[in-house]
Amino acid sequence: MVAIMTGMHPVPPPTRRPLRQLLAASVGNAVEWYDWYAYTFLATYIAGQIFPKSADSSLVPLLSTFAVFAVGFFMRPVGGLLMGAVADRRGRRSALTVTILLMGGSSLLVGLTPTYAAAGLLAPVVLVLARLLQGLSVGGEFAASTTFLVESAGPGRRGLFSSFQYVSTTLGQLLASGVAALLVNTLAEDRMDSWGWRVPFVLGAVLSLAGFWIRRGAEETRSAEQARAPRPGLFEALRRHPRESLLIGGITAGGTLAYYTWTSYLPTYAELTAGVAKSDALLAGTVSLAFFALLQPVGGLLSDRFGRRPPLLFFGLGSALLSVPLLHALRDSFAVLLLVQCAGMLLLTGFTSISAAVNAEIFPPRVRAAGIGFPYSLTVALFGGTAPYVGTLFEELGRPGIFPWYVAVLCLVSSLVYLRLPETAHRELAR
C-alpha cells in the first residue's frame, strides 16, 4: 500500500483492522495481568507449600522475601528495556508475541512448581525463576503494547486506543480475583492447599495461547522505513533522549503512586486506619475497579477532543488537593469507602486513560518502545510498587496520616511536569 506523505516523511496509513488491533493488544494485556495478579491473590497458599515455616534451610525465608517483594518489580525495568528493544528492532507484533508466550510459560512454571516437601530448596528456586520471568514479561508488555496501541489508532483516536491499556489491565485483575475467589469458596481448605492454588496458573497458560493466536494475526505498526533502518542500540533511547526519559519519569511518578494507592493498597489502608471489615474492603475494591474500567474510554475520548494536558492536570492538581481529605474521610462504613475509592478512581482516570498516548507521543519511532519501557517501569518500581510498603511503614511508626500527604506531594510534583508538557493530541504521530 502506498504510504501517505507528510512533509518529507512517509507515514503508513492507519490499519484497516482497528478492532482486531485493539483486541490483540487488549486481550493479551488482560491475560498478562491476570497471571501477574493471580500470584498476588494466592500468595498465602503458595507460601504454605513453597516456603513452609518449618523448613530447615535458613535460605528459605530469604528466598521467600526475595520472591514476594523484590523479584517482580526488579525485573520490570529490565523487561521494559529488553522487550522494548525487541519491539524497536524486530517490530511491535514480534515483541507482543514474545511477552505473552513468556508470561504463559512462567505462569505454567508457577502452577507446576514442586512443593518444598517434595523438592526441598529447589521449590523456592523454581518459584523465584518463574517470578523473574513474569516481571520481565510484564515490564516488556507495557512497552510493546503501549506503542502498538497508539500506532494502531486512526486520526483523532490515539487517546481512545490508549485507554484500553488500563481497561484490559483492570479486567485481568478482576478475572484473577474472581477465579481465586471462586476456588476458595468452592474447594475445601485441604484441596485448596494441595492443588487448588495451581489451577489459576495453568488456566493462565492456556489463556496465553489464545492471546498468542490473536496477536499473531495482528498487523505490524512499525513503518517499512523503520524496518529498513539500522537497528537502534540497547541504550540508544537513554543516551540520545535523556530529557524525554526523565520526562517519562516525571509524568509517571504521581500517577503510579496514585494508581497503586487507589487500586491495590486502599483496602488494606482502610482496614488499618478506619477499621473497615476485610469483606467490605474487598467488595468495595471490586466494585470500584469495575467503575474504573468503564471510565477509561471516556477519559481517552475527552483527551482526543480537548487535548492531553487538561486531563493530566485534572488528575495531578485534583489529587494534590483532594488525596488528603479523601483518605482522611474513611470511616468504618462500606458506603463511605466505596464513595472515597470511586472518587479516587475518577481523579486517577485523568492519568491512566491517556498515559500510553502521552508516552508514545514523546519519543520518536526508532526508539519509542524501549524509550517508554525502561523509564516507565523503573518509576513504577520506585514509586508504585513501594506504595503499600511506605503506607504500612507510616502505620508502624504511628504516623498513618503522613501517607495521604506523600501521595498529594508526589502528584503535585507531576503536575508541575504536566504544566510544561507540549500539547501533542492533535499532532501527527511520527512514524
Over residues 229-251, mean pLDDT: 88
Residue 411 has pLDDT above 90, yes or no: yes
What does the pLDDT look like over 276-299, one tens digit per residue? Answer: 888 888 889 889 999 999 999 999
Task: Please name which of 136, 155, 22 lies closest in space to residue 86, comparing C-alpha atoms.
Answer: 136
Residue 177 in domain: yes
Counted domains in the chain: 2
What's residue 11's pLDDT? 46
Cell digits of residue 81: 528495556
Q: Name residue, grid cell 508538557.
A: 421
Residue 334 has pLDDT above 90, yes or no: yes
The residue among 217, 252, 268 that closes a domain is 217
Cell digits of residue 179: 477465579
Residue 317 has pLDDT above 60, yes or no: yes
Q: How far apart are CA 272 and CA 87, in angstroms?
A: 43
Over residues 418-425, mean pLDDT: 92
Q: Would you place residue 5 in the very low, low, confident or very high pLDDT band (cuts 50, 70, 90)? A: very low
Residues 245 and 143 in one domain: no
Residue 411 in domain: yes
State the distance between the two ends of the chain, measured CA to CA, in whole angstroms: 16
What does the pLDDT look like over 140-164, one tens digit per residue? Answer: 998 899 999 999 998 889 999 999 9
What's residue 60's pLDDT? 59
Residues 243 and 383 in one domain: yes
State how far Cα 240 lies from the chain centre: 26
Residue-level length of the chain: 431
Residue 55 in domain: yes
Residues 298 and 354 in one domain: yes
What's residue 384's pLDDT? 87
Residues 239 and 178 in one domain: no
Residue 346 in domain: yes
Instruction: Name the pTM for this structure.
Output: 0.87
pLDDT higher at 12 or 3: 12
The residue among 189, 217, 245 that closes a domain is 217
Q: What are phi and psi of 284, to 5 degrees?
A: -60, -40
Residue 44 has pLDDT above 80, yes or no: no
Over residues 314-328, mean pLDDT: 96
Over residues 197-226, mean pLDDT: 89
What CATH number has the domain bearing residue 101?
A: 1.20.1250.20
Over residues 359-383, mean pLDDT: 91
